Structure formats: structure tokens, C-alpha cells
Amino acid sequence: MPPASGYAVQPMNKNEYTNPLKTAQYLLTNGISTIPIRYGDKRPHAVVLEKTTGNTSWKPFASELPDCDILTTWFNVPVINLGIVMSFGVAVLDFDNAHEFSYWFRDHGKKLGSLSLARTSRGVHVYFSHSENTASGKIINAAGDLVGDLKISGYVVAPPSRHASGKIYHWNKGGLAGMANLTKQPFTIMQILGPTLKIAEPPTCLAPNYGSTISASSPWELDPMQITDLVQVTASNDGHYAHGLCPLHPDKNNSFWVNLERNTCGCWTCGFSGITVKELKARLR
């Protein structure tokens, strides 16, 4: 399906904002919290965090800003990714692909003011400011198709990071410069979604062999441990999924799958899907 007309996803000048340290410093001056992410990965860089805080958790920086010295320690290295923390009113509408973003922007997004856009490996991040007490969730269009995520908490990988596929995240027209005005014009969630998008009802499913209910109502949050650290799987050609033998039942058909970007998994035979590494570790015990 071709992208809708009315907006073309174009990168800024490639000489601008390609330095993680300068990007983090610029965001700090505008009250936006950042964290170090493993290069070519989406996980927090535990080793770098521990050097400055004494522990491996990024979560303290959801309630406090890192100072300039900490940023220098984190990002003044040859290769590292950068994450923007969803805190202090900053949130992201995460489109899975540029086509869906183009439809939303054509019909609604271009009418909005203070937004910042960043190109990801496949889609677009729309940064905005809000003042609502709400939760993250899945976003669907009028046809009921999943188009992305609303991220109110947690963090997102941001430019100039490198994706596992080799693609570089980059700011789009009005991107990083627009972050300076982000918090000056907060939106309601309905104002951001517009008439064509809405938050999906969180699904609840029953895993038949275990009798436990799995709910997707909580925000996706990346665990420092990956599911691939627990189960041997083989990545697909597109690099987004991996498959292998399910560790929870006698399996000969590679029915176990892993979403490498979300660090979630499921099994077609067992009947569960979308569980986190924490839930998987509990089932393996």
C-alpha cells in the first residue's frame, strides 16, 4: 500500500544531531530525560549505568534528570545508543510503519502544533507533551487494525541510535529542534489520536496448560534480560522475530516464537502469546 500524500518522511541534514552526547545535552536543557542504550540494541546499557549510579536500573531517571557529568560519562564513548524516558509529560505515538503515520498525519497530525518526529527502523515516533494520568496501550485504526503503540511510560530508542538491522534512527523535519517547545503545548490523548485512531481494549487470554490469565494492560517494558538468553531460537530473515523449540512442552515443530523488538514470546501449541521475560522465567521455574 503506497504512503498517503500530504507528507513525506524526510530526514534532517545528516550533519545535524548525529552525536549522542550533544543530543542528550540538548534534551537535558529542555527538561527531557535520557538514558544510555546498548549499541545496536534496545536494552539499557547496564554497565554504563552502574558506573554512574551504582546500580544497573534506568528507572531513577524517570523521576529525576541526569546531570551534565553523568551524560558525559554515558555518551562520550565511540558507540552507544540513546533512549528518551517517557517522563515529565513526554510521551510518544509509535507508528509501526511510515504508511500508517502518513495516513494519520494527512488526516489529522498536520493540524497539530508542537510535535517532534523521528524515523525509526520501520516506522515513526511522534513525540508530544501531555498532562493526563493515563496508561500506555495499543493503538488501532477505524478498521480495527493495529497501527502502533501509545507510550506514556518506559522509554523509547531515539536518534542518533543504531537499530539491530543496521538502520539509523534520525530526526525528521522539525524533529530535535521541536523538542525545545514540546512541553509548552500539552495535548490530551484524544487530541493526539484524532478521529481515526483509538486505544485498543487490553486483551486478556487464558493459557490452557497453566490456568493463568495473561493481561496486556500493563505497558511494554524492556527487561535487561532477553528471552533469547533463556531459550535457544533462530532469528527470521527480517530480524524482527525468532523461532525455536518451546521449553514448556515436548516440541518438535519450532512452535515457540519471540518478538525480538518487544522482548515478548508465545507458543502456538501451548496457546499463550505476548508474555514477558519475567512471566516466562516464572513458568520455567
Q: What is the pLDDT of residue 207?
A: 43
Same domain, 107 and 121: yes
To the nearest whole percent, how much of the chain has pLDDT over 70?
Answer: 84
Same domain, 155 and 32: yes
Same domain, 163 and 264: no
Of 117-121, 140-144, 211-215, the least confident? 211-215
Same domain, 240 and 268: yes
Residue 252 has pLDDT above 50, yes or no: yes
Round to whole Å and give the CA distance between 90 and 101.
19
129 is a domain residue: yes
1 is a domain residue: no
Q: What is the pLDDT of residue 1?
A: 34
123 is a domain residue: yes
86 is a domain residue: yes
Residue 116 has pLDDT above 60, yes or no: yes
Same domain, 157 and 215: no
Residue 169 has pLDDT above 90, yes or no: yes
CATH code for position 274: 3.90.580.10
5 is a domain residue: no
| Last-in-domain residue among 199, 230, 264 | 199
Which stretch, 53-57, 221-225, 232-236, has highest mean pLDDT? 53-57
Same domain, 183 and 213: no
Q: What is the pLDDT of residue 182?
A: 81
| Last-in-domain residue among 180, 199, 218 | 199
Q: What pTM, to 2 d.p., does this model score?
A: 0.68
Q: What is the pLDDT of residue 38?
A: 93
Three-state secondary-structure class, residue 86: coil
Same domain, 178 and 74: yes
Tell me which of 169 and 282 has the higher pLDDT. 169
Q: What is the pLDDT of residue 7?
A: 36
Give the chain's domain count.
2
Same domain, 175 and 236: no
Q: Find the mean pLDDT for residues 132-141.
A: 84
**CA neighbor of 241 nearest in space, from 265, 219, 267, 214:** 265
Same domain, 41 and 151: yes
Residue 184 has pLDDT above 50, yes or no: yes
Range of the domain at 208: 204-284
Tell me which of 206 and 258 has the higher pLDDT. 258
Residue 156 has pLDDT above 90, yes or no: yes
11 is a domain residue: no
Same domain, 146 and 127: yes
Residue 216 has pLDDT above 60, yes or no: no
CA distance readout (Å), 278 to 77, 264, 282 = 31, 10, 6
Same domain, 240 and 194: no
Are 67 and 124 a contacting pair, CB within 8 Å?
no
Of 145-159, 168-182, 203-217, the least confident? 203-217
Q: Find the mean pLDDT for residues 110-137.
A: 86
2 is a domain residue: no
Q: How confident is the model at residue 175 (pLDDT cuts 50, 70, 90)?
A: confident
CA distance readout (Å), 216 to 207, 213, 263 = 13, 10, 14
Instruction: Let me know if 55 is exposed, middle or buried by CB neighbors in 10 A (0-12, 13-18, 19+).
Output: exposed
Same domain, 128 and 168: yes
> CA-CA-CA-CA torsion for 45, 47, 50, 56, nearest 10 degrees?
50
Round to whole Å and give the CA distance between 82 and 161.
6
CA 197 to chain centre: 19
Would you state the cell numbers that stand for residue 147, as one nine-digit string?
497501527
105 is a domain residue: yes
Are 157 and 94 a contacting pair, CB within 8 Å?
no
| Last-in-domain residue among 173, 199, 225 | 199
CA distance readout (Å), 7 to 4, 12, 173, 187, 271 = 7, 14, 10, 22, 41
